[in-house]
Amino acid sequence: MTQSVRIGIIGAGAVSDYHHVPGINIDPRAELVAVCDPNETLLEQRKSEWGEFDATTSYQDIADHPNVDAVIIATPNFTHREIALACLAGDKHVMCEKPLGLNYEESKEMYQAARDRNLRHMTAFTYRFAPSMRYVRHLVKSGALGELRHFRSQRFLDWPETSWGWRQYKKTAGAGDLFDMTIHRIDFAQDLLGPIKSICGAVAQFAPRDKTAEGQDCPPSEVDDWSSLIGQFENGAVGVWEGSTLMKGYHNDGFGYEWAEVNGSRGSAAYQLTDPNNVLVGLNGNPVEKMPVPDEFLVIEGSPRKPHEGVPSTVFRYDLVYEFVSAIVEGRDAIPGFDHGASAQAVADAVLKSHDQKTWVDLDIDLEN
């Protein structure tokens, strides 16, 4: 009989509705049994949208819940550490949204807590699951691109200049575009090319965002609207990353613009979020051309998701839950784990340090001690 995994969601906001609940719904092994959010009106609304569940306003109830095996944490960034540690202490497997913590020290503590209790842990680095990203990874790891030389990523979004709530304050978000968007690209760059050893970073703020969407005054934003870095990987390759949430004209139904590529001695391969079932590839002297992602890379192995159903730039995100549940059922590490979340966090922290000190920063990551 297939093992069933009973899931509690903590944080019933946008991302839970967008990825996690649809991911649970398509996985026959997964069952949503409990939801926590301090917003009781939202909890009631979610009951009509998501179906029946045990509702609570206290995350401790989920951490202690006798019928919850695994937890998805999708709350504002400053709460991740405290909630994850409580759930791990309650013997729950944990998938946590990115950024894992407000800084590397928090993320490392979360990783070590999961490791020490031998529980499954996963960081919700969504874009690793895009079909074209998975195929670019295959080309990289199979040696088709030759010796790896260069990585480039650009992510532009056109978000409003009114308040973004908790997302625009250092105490609640940690950083802006850097922790929200660029951290994903740091993660998949390290997945493709290996650890980053040194970076030089810069951030900028473009808008005060001191009014709410309804026109009321609010404290101005404290975080970056643009983040960038250049870096060196341990394997000798170099990389360049740039992201911004305030690039006019790049709304594109909320998907914005995203391009990431790897260039090696024998070829180049590029992923685009807005066309995730196709990939751009040029090998052995041939020009870079668009080709469909081969069928076996359209979903992760075993996923019941039908790759040609739904909006391609959205539906691959449902495979996150499939990976988390598979790791629990199979008793293996989930990928990406809290270790990947912590190592991307160390690089993101280094961007802020580099910007403040106007200097290159070497990474010195030791997650185990």
Ligand X SMILES: NC(=O)c1ccc[n+]([C@@H]2O[C@H](COP(=O)([O-])OP(=O)(O)OC[C@H]3O[C@@H](n4cnc5c(N)ncnc54)[C@H](O)[C@@H]3O)[C@@H](O)[C@H]2O)c1
Residues that bind ligand X (CB under 6 A): 10-15, 36-39, 42, 59, 74-77, 79, 97-98, 124, 126, 180
Query: Rounded to the nearest whole angstrom, what is the least distance from the CB of residue 351 to ligand X in the complex?
Result: 17
Query: Rounded to the nearest whole angstrom, what is the least distance from the CB of residue 72 to ligand X in the complex?
Result: 10
Query: Rounded to the nearest whole angstrom, what is the least distance from the CB of residue 320 to ligand X in the complex?
Result: 8
Query: Rounded to the nearest whole angstrom, what is the least distance from the CB of residue 50 to ligand X in the complex?
Result: 13
Query: Rounded to the nearest whole angstrom, what is the least distance from the CB of residue 278 to ligand X in the complex?
Result: 21
Contact (CB, 8 A) for 126 and 72: no
- What Cα–Cα distance (Å) separates residue 274 from each residue in 105, 261, 270, 311, 315? 34, 14, 12, 10, 12
Helix (H, G, I), strand (E, B) or coil at 341: helix
Q: Which residue is nearest to ligand X (CB)?
A: 13
- Pairing state between β 361-362 and 289-292: unpaired
In the complex with ligand X, the residue whose CB is nearer, 11 or 256, is: 11
In the complex with ligand X, the residue whose CB is nearer, 174 or 264, is: 174
**Residues with Cβ within 8 Å of residue 261, at least 6 apart in sequence:** 136, 151, 152, 153, 268, 269, 270, 271, 280
Can you give the length of the chain in residues? 369
In the complex with ligand X, the residue whose CB is nearer, 10 or 203, is: 10
In the complex with ligand X, the residue whose CB is nearer, 61 or 266, is: 61
Question: H or E stretch including 359?
Answer: none
**Residues with Cβ within 8 Å of residue 145, at least 6 apart in sequence:** 139, 262, 263, 264, 265, 266, 267, 268, 269, 283
Query: Rounded to the nearest whole angstrom, what is the least distance from the CB of residue 282 to ligand X in the complex?
Result: 29
d(CA 273, CA 257): 7
Helix (H, G, I), strand (E, B) or coil at 262: strand
Helix (H, G, I), strand (E, B) or coil at 259: strand
In the complex with ligand X, the residue whose CB is nearer, 36 or 145, is: 36
Contact (CB, 8 A) for 65 and 8: yes
φ/ψ (deg, to 5) at 60: -65, -30
In the complex with ligand X, the residue whose CB is nearer, 12 or 139, is: 12
Query: Rounded to the nearest whole angstrom, what is the least distance from the CB of residue 182 to ligand X in the complex?
Result: 12
In the complex with ligand X, the residue whose CB is nearer, 268 or 303, is: 303
Question: Residue 214 carries which DSSP code?
Answer: T
Query: Rounded to the nearest whole angstrom, what is the least distance from the CB of residue 96 to ligand X in the complex?
Result: 8
In the complex with ligand X, the residue whose CB is nearer, 11 or 201, is: 11
